[in-house]
Structure 1
């Protein structure tokens, strides 16, 4: 990895300080939980992150949302409300135009539709170099 020049290093320090002072990672995590709770059944939440710290928070929060082992949730109530019993039924409802859905992770409360994040194509990167670090993750509520 190339060493940062002095100006870049100062920028990284300023970013780290801003993230810590404003508690931005906790705010992101809280916002993800609140946004998922606002979704209707079948609704989707798509999040674009530009930094590895943000992407890690999005990934871990999505995994926590669908994993209800630590929460008091009535599994039968969730399955009844969703009206679906397994991933095959849900995936059969997905439109053919959604080829981007390749690997999924199913939980009791939702499905992570992007096990691996969607990143820009080479063409997209050449048109907009700032998009290079963008990662898209999507979760669907059951």
Structure 2
């Protein structure tokens, strides 16, 4: 498994991103990865603040964002920003795509792959990959006939993602955004 999924490291840290990336680059990851509605405002604030003092502690960023946006209910206003930074630093979507590409080769026929996602972007990637790899044939309007699908590898065991029930969420509040998807190798 190690050979199939090389461990990468040595990339930029969250502090590197916050202290060195352009306002536009920060805005983009906060919007795309964090799905943060105030991405523009937060990126502008970070850009302005770091001219005065370098960000060295997560509390500087968290407290500043809370001051900037105010409290919005149960979830801390900086949560999505930290999520975006973590996802970018760890290349989480890239790692997920790379894993999904090699996963069929790691399973024997009848083997099952279950993936739990905690973010809509992750879930969209898993859902689309599983859907694409579960079609025997693909068809396009410009083709005279359907063609065999070179990605065909799975039978879908869950049509829709399985969401946690009320009891699970009560026991484990972090499960609230999770989705489980399962396929079986053909």
Q: With structure 1 as the length reference, what TM-score do the two structures score?
A: 0.62
Task: Provide the rounded CA distance (Å) in 2 between the counterparts of 1:134 and 1:35.
Answer: 21
The question of 1:28 aligning with 2:96 is answered yes
How many residues get paired? 107
Contact 1:41 1:141 in 2 (8 A): yes
User: How far off its partner does 1:108 sit?
Assistant: 4.1
The superposition leaves residues 18-74 of structure 1 with CA deviations (integer Å, 9 ceiling, x where unpaired) of 32343210110111221222111111100011111111111111122224649xxx9
Equivalent residue for 2:18? Answer: none
Structure 1: tracts of 5 or more residues without a match = 79-106
User: How far off its partner does 1:127 sit?
Assistant: 1.9
Task: Provide the rounded CA distance (Å) in 2 between the counterparts of 1:124 and 1:10.
Answer: 25
The question of 1:17 aligning with 2:85 is answered yes
Contact 2:134 2:154 in 1 (8 A): yes
Pick closer, same or farther for the CA change 1:129–1:11 going to 2, 3 Å.
Answer: closer
The question of 1:134 aligning with 2:181 is answered no
Structure 2: tracts of 5 or more residues without a match = 1-68, 140-146
Equivalent residue for 1:5? Answer: 71
The superposition leaves residues 77-98 of structure 1 with CA deviations (integer Å, 9 ceiling, x where unpaired) of x9xxxxxxxxxxxxxxxxxxxx
The question of 1:37 aligning with 2:105 is answered yes
Contact 2:155 2:185 in 1 (8 A): yes
Task: Provide the rounded CA distance (Å) in 2 between the counterparts of 1:141 and 1:16.
Answer: 32
User: How far off its partner does 1:123 sit?
Assistant: 1.6
- 1:125 aligns to what SS in structure 2? helix
- 2:155 aligns to what SS in structure 1? strand
- 1:66 aligns to what SS in structure 2? coil
The root-mean-square deviation of aligned C-alpha atoms, in Å, is 2.9
The superposition leaves residues 89-124 of structure 1 with CA deviations (integer Å, 9 ceiling, x where unpaired) of xxxxxxxxxxxxxxxxxx942211111111112122
Equivalent residue for 1:58? Answer: 126
